[in-house]
Structure 1
Amino acid sequence: MNWPLKKKQEEHAGPHWAGMALPSRHCLLLIGALGIFALDCFTKGQKNSTLIFTKENTIRNCSCSADIRDCDYSLANLMCSCKTILPFAAERTSYKGHLTIWFTDSSVLGRLLNFTPVQDLKLSLCSSNTLPTEYLAVCGLKRLRISTEAKYPFPEQSLLIHSGGDSDSPATPTSSHKGWEACMYISFLDVALFNRDSSLKSYSIENIASIANDLPDFSHFKAFPMPNNKSYVVTIIY
């Protein structure tokens, strides 16, 4: 029988773990601080995007930390932080990040977008309605994406309007109320393009001093008091 030998081996094995030095208090504090720093960096790295959708004569304004499948209203209400605003209470503001709008008709789009500073815009048609020829004037638009999955089963289209400018450029407003006055880039979007299955196209015209005089087809926008001492780059999207 080898019982004494086995017991001796077990007694010899014990000190290996028993003698290990435990982390000091300073090490534990450092590890905790590094964890908090990493969590803070991760949180700041998550940029929320704005989702606005219209349904049953109401407007839902949502802040989302993740992309939501187009026109999935239930998922948006579940995953995003949303609030309801009445159409007549919608105020013109500015959007420096991503803005997505789900809509079923064009009745509210003008109130939400006309001369509103938006850099990255996605418009998703969530119905099979036929839209009238109606222009939207968007300020400082750099990229436009459109989705017509509810009407035509085609993939999302993307169009780069311009890549110039940064956070200090005139395309980015300094005031949420009158920021569009300082806008150098104006994009006119015909919402009737959602009725077609053709590719998204655009062309730009530089050195426009007066939209009402230089572009008479858009003279109905003369109600917006734009400064006369500036020149603009106008992009037509169709």
Structure 2
Amino acid sequence: MRMLGHAETRMAPPSGHSLLLICVLGIFALDCFTRGQKNSTLIFTRENTIRKCSCSADIQDCDYSLASLMCSCKTVLPFAVERTSYSGRLTIWFTDTSALGLLLNFTLVQDLKLSLCSTNTLPTEYLAICGLKRLRINTEAKHPSPEQSLLIRSGGEHDPREQPPSLHTGWQTCMYASFLDMALFNRESSLKSYSIENVASIANNFPYFSHFKTFPVLSNKSYVVTFIY
């Protein structure tokens, strides 16, 4: 009689299709994790101070305590604010326009959200923003209403006049200029915009914008100017 030994269980090696599926799922999971960890920039102005934060999650508008708890924040002195650029999302909570000029004028921002955290009436002042693609505003503190969003230009389009964000060094490489009327926060009307192409000189074409007279003139170049109101 033939004796039967203990059965030996062996795991078959994964097939080529299984290995491919495992690799694809791994790459997908890593991509989701990386995107989930991508931080956004939050800046809020309060009581003559400017706080700049890096947040890994969205914070409810104007919740200063939660922002200080959930984000990595530091105080920035007004005279130490430098002209910079933001390739990711930038959110600014503000109560008046005094600090916004320091933070936004002649700054490269592609995705911007502005939240008014007071009931103050804002003056008719224009902020000049470079390279803006998407703008969101929230006026809940003044006019309780849903957040408004405005797509100025598609993020997927390519224009030879625009360099990648990492190559921007200031207005000398900015072909898209957006002028934002801060008085729009006083109204309950919808967010609107219109654009003018092939503007050779902003200072000459818009003489009433006196503080834009320092806007550099680019030889053999033209701007696309967008007014947001």
Are positions 1:182 and 2:145 aligned together?
Answer: no
After superposition, give the CA deviation of every residue in 1:123-151 in whole Å (9 maximum; x if it has no partner).
00000001111000110101111000000
Q: How does 1:41-190 map to 2 (within 5 A)?
A: 41-46=31-36, 47-163=38-154, 165=157, 170=162, 172-175=164-167, 178-190=169-181
TM-score (norm 1): 0.80
Are positions 1:197 and 2:191 aligned together?
Answer: no
Output the CA distance in 2 between the equivalents of 1:36 and 1:205. 47
* Contact 1:134 1:190 (8 Å CA) reproduced: yes
Question: % of aligned pairs identical?
Answer: 70
Task: State the AA in 2 paired with 1:217.
Answer: Y
Output the CA distance in 2 between the equivalents of 1:167 and 1:55. 38
Larger Rg belongs to: 1
Output the CA distance in 1 between the equivalents of 2:55 and 2:119. 26
Cα distance change, pair 234–44 in 1 and its aligned pair in 2 (3 A): same
* Contact 2:203 2:215 (8 Å CA) reproduced: no
Output the CA distance in 2 between the equivalents of 1:84 and 1:39. 36
Output the CA distance in 1 between the equivalents of 2:160 and 2:141. 38
Higher helix share: 1
* Contact 1:207 1:231 (8 Å CA) reproduced: yes
Aligned residues: 214
Output the CA distance in 1 between the equivalents of 2:166 and 2:159. 10
Alpha-carbon offset, residue 79 of structure 1: 0.9
Output the CA distance in 1 between the equivalents of 2:165 and 2:103. 16
RMSD: 2.7
* Contact 1:210 1:228 (8 Å CA) reproduced: no
Task: Report the counterpart of residue 31 of structure 1 in structure 2.
Answer: none
Task: State the AA in 2 paired with 1:170.
Answer: E
Task: State the AA in 1 paired with 2:175.
Answer: M
